[in-house]
Every structure is written in structure tokens, then in C-alpha cells.
Structure 1
Amino acid sequence: MRLTYFSQLPFFCNILPIERNRKSWGLAKENHGIIMDIAKERTRSTSHQDLLQAILEGSMNGELGTLTEGELIIDNCKNMFLGGYLPPALAAIWGLMLLASHPEWQDRAHSKVLEVYEGQIQLLDFNMLSKMKVLKMVIQEVLRLYPGVTLATREAARCEAR
């Protein structure tokens, strides 16, 4: 992709119709359409009691401030997706990288997992996970060194003084 002089300036990054921006706008429009189609389909049936239903009810019953109902739904769905997808994926990647860099810790964690499993093939449960202290230490160190979310901005739709 060839960048022009103006596309490198911060003032023009998102407004010039260069190829990169046109692709970005197209993807944003496609995502918007997909999310709104799911939301419209969901509003027809109120039998669900989940996070999406809470977002839809909040958009219909709450004060939206400067946002439209659709913008509130889209923004919250994007926040939920990124918060639930990116941080765990990043933690797993960094954890594997750190364990590969420190084979002694990899061996300690592996032996503890084998000790807890006792040679049986079974699904993990809370009791098994609580016995894996070394694995817990590794996960906490990964999250300390490489936090999944470093900056998340939100805007209050309404503020009440008490």
C-alpha cells in the first residue's frame, strides 16, 4: 500500500478516502449491519436473559445522551467482544512465550498438572484448578507483566449527584 504525504498527518488519518480508510469504513459498516441484524432478531423474542438482552433493554429504556440507540448497542457489543476475546488470547500467547523462555517453570507447571490429574483423563473442575498453585503463579505473573487491557475508555450516559 502506498501512502500519500497527507495520509501520514494525524489530521487526515481517518477522513481522506484512501484505500486503507475505505476498507476500514467498509468493515465497520459490515460489522454494524451484522450486529444490528442480530439485535433486531433478538427484539422479536424476549425469552433470552443474557448480556445482549440487557444491552437491548438498556438502549430502549435508558437515557442515551448523545448516542443513538443503535450506536449504544454497537459500542457495547464491541466492548464485550474485545473484553472477552483479546485479553485471554493475549494472556495465552504471552504465557506460552514465557514458559518457552523459562523451561524450569514449564517443567514445574507440567509436573503439577500431571500430579493433579493423576493419570486420569477428565474435565477440569474448580477443585483441580485450585490445587495447581504453580500454574496460578504463572498466570498471575503473565497478567502482571502483560495486562490484557491497558486502556479502556467509557462515557457515562447519565450522572446523578447524590
Structure 2
Amino acid sequence: MSALLRILILDPIAFILACAAAGGAIAVAILIQEPGTPSQSVAVSVVFFGIAYATALFAAWFAFVPALVAIALAEAFRWRSVFYWLAVGGGIGLAGYVANDQMATPTFDDERVLYYLGAGFVGGLAYWLVAGRVAGAGIPPLFGNEPDNEP
């Protein structure tokens, strides 16, 4: 696959899947935490997908610009490490927590910060699994004559 097609097709698909994974992680965390969750499987499924859809939309809206910058840096410098994507996802999740609590002073002693961090980590891992492992493949190096280590 050429580098341009990979960037134009695979990266947006990976971003959408990462946002869906982050929304699913938040939905699972909320449904596990709530003591009064209905026992009917249809009701649980409707609530799960409603929460996952809403949080995935929020994640996509909030994380678009930071993720675009992180993707551009990873493509330009060939950063393929899973730790890079976990750090990016965790950072975006933490920024989402702070932005969500912008009316009040954010306190990092409640469990909601773990929801946001966990969702960011899951989203970063999902992006790495789909597109982050091949970041920069087929693109000439920016600096020097580095050997191209294709996966």
C-alpha cells in the first residue's frame, strides 16, 4: 500500500476505531460502576451502546486536533512505538478530564480521572494496532540517510 493511500484511508479509519474503543471503555466502566444496572440483556445493550456512542462522539470531537498533530509527528518521524500511542492516548484522556471539569477546579482524587485515562489508553492502543505500527512506512526520512526499517 502506498504511503499516501495509507495516510488518507488507514489513518482516518484507525482514528474512528480508536474513538469507538475509547467510548466502549467508558461505557464498560460506567456500567460496571452503576449498582442499579438493569438485569435484562436488551436494556443493558441499549444503555451500553448509547453511552458508547455518546462518549465516542465526544472523544472524536475533543481529540481530533491533538490526534492529528500526534499522527503527523508519528508519520514524519516514524514513531511506531506502542508506548508513544499509549502516552498520546493517556494525555488526550487526561486533557479531556480537565476540559470536562473546566467550570470547577479539577481534582484528581475521584475515579472519573481513571475513566478518562483508561479510555485514552484504550484509544491509543486501538490506534496503534490498526495504523500506528506502520507509521512513516514508505516515506523518505526527514533528516539524514536513516535505514528504512519496514515492518
**TM-score normalised by structure 1 residue count:** 0.32
Bigger helix share: 2
* Structure of higher RCO (CA pairs closer than 8 Å, 6+ residues apart): 2
Q: TM-score if structure 2 supplies the norm length?
A: 0.34
